Structure 1
């Protein structure tokens, strides 16, 4: 009897929108997105960000309007980056950040979930994420953790739902978790920048937050952020933060580090957040502006890659568009 041969083909599963949608293994939802928001105390009016097309640095008033628009578009989770007017070396005033959070929570209440970025880079005269020694050659870990711990408590008291330490100091998660619990803020979560790399893709962000390192001593952040050439350090840092009490583990940047997301997903049951950073976002926007790609489709493709690699939460500057784009998604 002649053996029948059926050629293998996958194209039948690509034949139309319906079958592509039915068989899709990635299901994006706008409810998985967080919108970053920059707010600068020194501004009277919003300003645009160099390289971040469509993104503004806000006043408190314009931030309220922006958050209102985001809520109307289905986004209710936000990561706040307050930028103070005055920079210091050691004595920091966090009152603008606490006023900002208090104002937002008073306006929106439980209709929004607020994560507050926790770092000192926007506060310091030298742009580093902590306190430097006298000749600016070394970042002082323990002294920085003490200040961050104090700052975290003020953010929680102001109404933040989540503290997001981005400084990359050793031991800061344990210190913050212990202090929050001791003062009754046991429901305030910690989203740790657990695997944060020393990356070239933060440029537009540093313009928005006025946070580029300008020290004549320590000239970059390589002594406390993770080397792109060391994946073991990234995994070890994230698992350490989990043990210290982090509720969410963030990988930043995201697009270039999907291997870290995927590996971490196999090692933890904690939610993983992927931060599609300013340089990654800007690359898409600049190519789209020149007509070299479809902006909407490119962002959706990146988001699919992040979710496929294991991300549970996506932090994106285009999050405000996620609901509309996902609803109109052509699989």
Structure 2
């Protein structure tokens, strides 16, 4: 009688699961999950003032000018990394964040420079949000009298921002604001101007998380008052995340993202089960900083921890992973 190694009839000593682990070659042969360079999207911070120093809250990450962004992408493209998401840090801000839609803004200029240099050899993703561009630091327009973040008036501005990125040559626009209906409005704006081939990667289930701290410091995007709990998702909710994913899919999103990644692997898993869309997960700045700090203190092995964390995100069902570890990972995978 044959015994399946995975069935209930498999009994020791007929079934020995350690056979699958007896050597590195066998472990590689039967491995179920593999992280590849093509799975990774690398975030790049570009500053309008051209400063290129290291980001204090995110050791190992740097601010870029347009020129250094182009140089960095060249180095990483040679290693096999082909997808990049841009976050802009402007010189000036305004209450409505309309500077984000400036055709000569830092993101738009960087997109043009990258596409002129590398064309379709790379994928350029742009973050579509207002928090870095508003004087108050919120992701939408704010009622001056009540302090309420206004949903519907924000949609027009987000559509203008996304359209300006598409006009500059972005392959994918990624709204991260968590306003209701923004995917539909952005899709309609892109279609009406002939950008029907620009993808939307929606931050569909973006949680109100403590793990964004280093990014907000790096991007100078922390809100001046209150917090973002009225528009980002409550960490206690799972079913709401599925509804958010469903709505964005129905409105025309091409890729669905969960953010942060590691604390919400249950949502990643369910998204993979329910949707045929590519699923993205963002390994956010706090996740990055924690591993960096633990490795620096000698509590974990750096390379092992990084690869394990990414493998877990991929195993949960993410097709794409946005991660600050991408440059190091592609070098490790190539070595």
Question: TM range, normalised to the smaller chain?
Answer: over 0.9
- Structure 1 counterpart of 2:172: 162
Name the count of aligned residue pairs.
321
- In the alignment, the residues of structure 1 paired with residue 57 and residue 30 of structure 2 have an alpha-carbon distance, to the nearest angstrom, of 37
Cα offset, 1:50, TM superposition: 2.5
- In the alignment, the residues of structure 2 paired with residue 91 and residue 316 of structure 1 have an alpha-carbon distance, to the nearest angstrom, of 26
- In the alignment, the residues of structure 2 paired with residue 90 and residue 103 of structure 1 have an alpha-carbon distance, to the nearest angstrom, of 27
Between 149-158 and 86-95, report the one with greater CA deviation. 86-95
- In the alignment, the residues of structure 1 paired with residue 324 and residue 224 of structure 2 have an alpha-carbon distance, to the nearest angstrom, of 26
Task: Indicate if the aligned counterparts of 1:191 and 1:250 stay in contact, CA closer than 8 A.
Answer: yes
- Structure 2 counterpart of 1:60: 66
Secondary structure in 2 matching 1:129: coil
| Deviation string, structure 1 residues 252-280 (Cα, Å, up to 9, x no partner) | 00011000000111110000001000000
- Structure 2 counterpart of 1:75: 81
Task: Indicate if the aligned counterparts of 1:250 and 1:274 stay in contact, CA closer than 8 A.
Answer: yes
- Choose from 133, 158, 167 the match for 1:148: 158
- In the alignment, the residues of structure 2 paired with residue 136 and residue 111 of structure 1 have an alpha-carbon distance, to the nearest angstrom, of 47
Structure 2: gaps of 5 or more residues? 1-10
| Deviation string, structure 1 residues 139-169 (Cα, Å, up to 9, x no partner) | 1111110100111111100100010000000
Q: TM-score, normalised by structure 1?
A: 0.94
- In the alignment, the residues of structure 2 paired with residue 54 and residue 214 of structure 1 have an alpha-carbon distance, to the nearest angstrom, of 27
Q: TM-score, normalised by structure 2?
A: 0.93
Residue 48 of structure 1 pairs with residue 54 of structure 2: yes
- Structure 1 counterpart of 2:309: 302
Between 132-141 and 205-214, report the one with greater CA deviation. 132-141
- Structure 2 counterpart of 1:88: 94
- In the alignment, the residues of structure 1 paired with residue 97 and residue 55 of structure 2 have an alpha-carbon distance, to the nearest angstrom, of 28
Q: How does 1:14-25 map to 2 (within 5 A)?
A: 14-25=21-32
| Deviation string, structure 1 residues 271-304 (Cα, Å, up to 9, x no partner) | 0001000000111111111222111111110111
Task: Indicate if the aligned counterparts of 2:33 and 2:314 stay in contact, CA closer than 8 A.
Answer: yes
Residue 233 of structure 1 pairs with residue 240 of structure 2: yes
| Structure 1 outlier segments of 4+, above 3 Å | none
Task: Indicate if the aligned counterparts of 1:49 and 1:204 stay in contact, CA closer than 8 A.
Answer: no
Do the aligned partners of residues 104 and 5 (structure 1) sit closer, same or farther apart at CA in structure 2, a change above 3 Å counting? closer
Choose between structure 1 and 2 for higher RCO, CA contacts under 8 A separated by at least 6 residues. 1
Structure 1: gaps of 5 or more residues? none
Q: How does 1:118-267 map to 2 (within 5 A)?
A: 118-215=128-225, 219-267=226-274
- In the alignment, the residues of structure 2 paired with residue 62 and residue 98 of structure 1 have an alpha-carbon distance, to the nearest angstrom, of 15
- In the alignment, the residues of structure 1 paired with residue 54 and residue 253 of structure 2 have an alpha-carbon distance, to the nearest angstrom, of 33
Cα offset, 1:91, TM superposition: 5.9
Cα offset, 1:100, TM superposition: 1.8
Cα offset, 1:137, TM superposition: 1.9
- In the alignment, the residues of structure 2 paired with residue 298 and residue 113 of structure 1 have an alpha-carbon distance, to the nearest angstrom, of 27
